[in-house]
Amino acid sequence: MYNAVLAFPADFDGWREAARRALALGTRPEDLSFTVGEAAPGLFAEPLPDQVPDDAAQPTVPRAFPDLARKMVCHADEDRFSLAYRLLWRLSGERRLLEIASDPDILRATQMVKAVHRDSHKMKAFVRFREIEDSALGRHSVAWFEPFHHTVELTAPFFARRFAGMIWTILTPERSAHWDGEALSFLPGATRDMAPGDDDMEALWLTYYASIFNPARLKVKAMTAEMPKKYWANMPETALVKPLIAGAKAAERRMLETAPTLPSFRHAKQEERRAMSLPRDEMPIGRDEAALPQTIAEAREAAEECRACPLWEPATQTVFGKGPDDAPVIFVGEQPGDQEDIAGEPFIGPAGKVFDQALAAAGIDRRQAYVTNAVKHFKFEPRGKRRIHAKPTMGEVKICRWWLNQERRLVRPKLIVALGATAAAAVLGKTVTIKATRSTLIDVDADTRLLVTVHPSYILRLPDAAAKARETEAFEADMALVLRTVPELAVGG
């Protein structure tokens, strides 16, 4: 029967050193006890020998064990050191022990670590500093705190990281921590009367505590679950808890019984000012109004309010076309995607990148063209933090065609490029296949021709690199055809 003596209640390094020696000596868990400081060991225990056999193997443990043990030894339980040693002992035979959450030793260790975590967390939360002017140290922040486990060493580094620019001391009955602005040191325990009695900020803190409380939703149990009464003694605001609860029902009743009052004079004046400053033509131009938009800017503004189909509701905004009012070419895509919906501009996402590359390869300046979509709102299915593109129905395309027609009427392009089948259908008013219409110039009216090609996202989705290269080439060839048809689009043109 051996006994190991540790320096202080959460002496992890001392425990580790002793545990290694005991393991090397083959000491069974039931033959080893631990005592802290001056405490008397058991009657028959002899001190753990300093020397270990030279051939003793260095024990190895799972990576998670040292951290577990470090937290365990902070627990108030007297058996904490023995239990930690028993786990170490068992680990040499049961390598996977830590993963068996239902094992009684592991369960107890987990509970201990949880309790230590909680106590340490509550210490971070509930320590209240009071400031004093110290002739030697200057402004000195001092707190009195009573932890329920041996958590001072574990938690003090948190305060050092947080209050590095202050000089502070946390006094507790067992161990005290001090930060001098440079380094952390631990001092012996203290008593409550060594801490300052009050602080001039406390009155304001109490005012805040009372005012932020909402008497209409009293939930005392929820409060005490998170702020157990055992911590209250050292928190000034808890003196208010009783009177606030007592006054809550009355405060709520008063609030409900007081009849609504008439708005103030200030409010009336403000309303008057607002009414004066509203623009006269505030009414948005509705689709059913007789007046059609006269410019692209007007059409864009009107489209912002469009609710002709249900797609507006889940989307962020209407993504209208972008480009010069008199562009010679309109590129029409299917619908905006995730990024277009956020930014409010067409073809800026991944498909837009493919589109831009093809234009660059063909020597087309995108700024000279008008770029838009057949459907102006993003249609999608929500999937957690992602939005999955959903194909617009022909009904939705038909409804939104009204806006595309306004764009065509106002821009009056020589050429329309339909990117994909949805765009082609929106321009032609009937469904066509890409295969049948691709890469040929189709007359749609006296002044305008149509070129149908694939949508750039089609190229993006191809899994096979060879197919991707082939389709990119074909798409670039179509863009080259666009430039031959409308040479004004050339870069620098």
Q: In the range 367-386, which residues lie near another protein by CB under 8 A?
A: 380, 382-386
Interacting span for another protein (CB under 8 A) from 244-252, 353-361, 467-475, 484-492: 244-252
How far is 315 from 206, CA to CA, in rounded Å?
A: 45
> Closest approach of Cβ 296 to another protein, in Å?
20
Q: Measured from the CB of residue 232, what is the shortest distance to another protein in angstroms?
A: 10
Site string for another protein, 99-118 (x = CB under 8 A): xxxx----x-----------
229 binds another protein (CB under 8 A): no
Q: Give me the amino acid identity at 297.
A: A
Residue bearing tokens 């149908």:
452
Identify which of residues 173 and 215 has a Cβ nearer to another protein in the complex.
Answer: 215
The one-letter amino acid code at 116 reads: V
Stretch that binds another protein, among 68-76, 159-167, 184-192, 426-434 (CB under 8 A): 159-167
What is the spatial distance between Cα 455 and Cα 321, in angstroms, rounded to a whole number? 16
The CA distance from 382 to 377, in Å, is: 15
Alpha-carbon span 216 to 209, nearest angstrom: 15
- Do 128 and 198 meet the contact criterion of CB atoms below 8 Å apart? no
Contact in structure between 413 and 370 (CB atoms under 8 Å): yes
Q: Which of 60, 185, 270, 433 binds another protein (CB under 8 A)?
A: 270
Residue 447 tokens, joined: 């002044």
Residues near 344 by Cβ (< 8 Å), separated by ≥ 6?
A: 316, 317, 318, 319
For tokens 């406390």, the residue is: 202
CB 311, min distance to another protein, A: 13
Question: What are the tokens at 250?
Answer: 């009355």
Minimum separation from the CB atom of position 398 to another protein (A): 24
Which of 21/376 has CB closer to another protein? 376
Instruction: Report, in Å, the least distance between residue 60 CB and another protein.
Output: 19
Site for another protein, residues 309 to 368, rule: CB under 8 A: 313-314, 316-317, 339, 341-344
Least distance from another protein to the Cβ atom of residue 115, Å: 16
- Is 263 a binder of another protein (CB under 8 A)? yes
Determine the interface stretch with another protein among 62-70, 207-215, 292-300, 439-447 (rule: CB under 8 A).
207-215
**Min CB(334)–another protein separation in Å:** 19
Q: Is 96 in the site for another protein (CB under 8 A)?
A: yes
Comparing CB distances to another protein, the nearer of 110 and 437 is 110
Q: How far apart are CA 104 and CA 114, in angstroms?
A: 15
CB of 343 vs another protein, minimal distance in Å = 6
Nearer to another protein, 319 or 452 (CB): 319
- Give the C-alpha separation, 4 to 17, whole Å: 10
Q: What DSSP letter does each residue of 250-262 carry, written as one string?
A: HHHHHHHHSPPPP
Q: Which residues, at least 6 apart from 121, have a Cβ–Cβ distance to it below 8 Å?
A: none
221 binds another protein (CB under 8 A): yes
Rounded to whole angstroms, the Cα distance separating 2 from 49 reads 8
For residues 229 and 212, what is the distance between their CA atoms, to the nearest angstrom? 20
Phi-psi region of 423 (alpha: psi -120 to 50; beta: other; left: phi over 0): alpha
Applying CB under 8 A, which part among 9-17, 248-256, 429-437, 461-469 lies near another protein?
A: 248-256
Report the DSSP beta bridge partners of residue 133. 139
Q: Which of 211, 280, 283, 445 binds another protein (CB under 8 A)?
A: 211
- Shortest distance, position 239 Cβ to another protein, whole Å: 12
29 vs 236 by CB, closer to another protein: 236
Shortest distance, CB of residue 465 to another protein, whole angstroms?
A: 22
Task: Give dist(CA 154, CA 12) in Å, integer.
Answer: 10
Kindly tell me which residue out of 18, 83, 116, 143 binds another protein, with binding defined by CB under 8 A. 143
Which of 4, 10, 18, 127 binds another protein (CB under 8 A)? It is 127
Instruction: Report CA dihedral (78, 80, 85, 88) to the nearest 10 degrees.
Output: 170
Angle at 126 between CA 124 and CA 129, to 5 degrees: 90
Q: With binding defined as CB under 8 A, does residue 197 bind another protein? A: no
Residue 241 engages another protein in binding (rule: CB under 8 A):
yes
Name residue, tokens 């002899």. Answer: 46
Region near another protein per CB under 8 A, out of 46-54, 199-207, 419-427, 444-452: 199-207
Structure-block tokens of residue 297: 């800017």
- Give yes or no for residue 235 binding another protein (CB under 8 A): yes
Contact range with another protein by CB under 8 A, out of 20-28, 41-49, 158-166, 463-471: 158-166
Residue whose CB is less far from another protein, 77 or 199: 199
Q: Give the Å distances, CA to CA, from 428 to 292, 406, 434, 442.
A: 22, 15, 13, 10
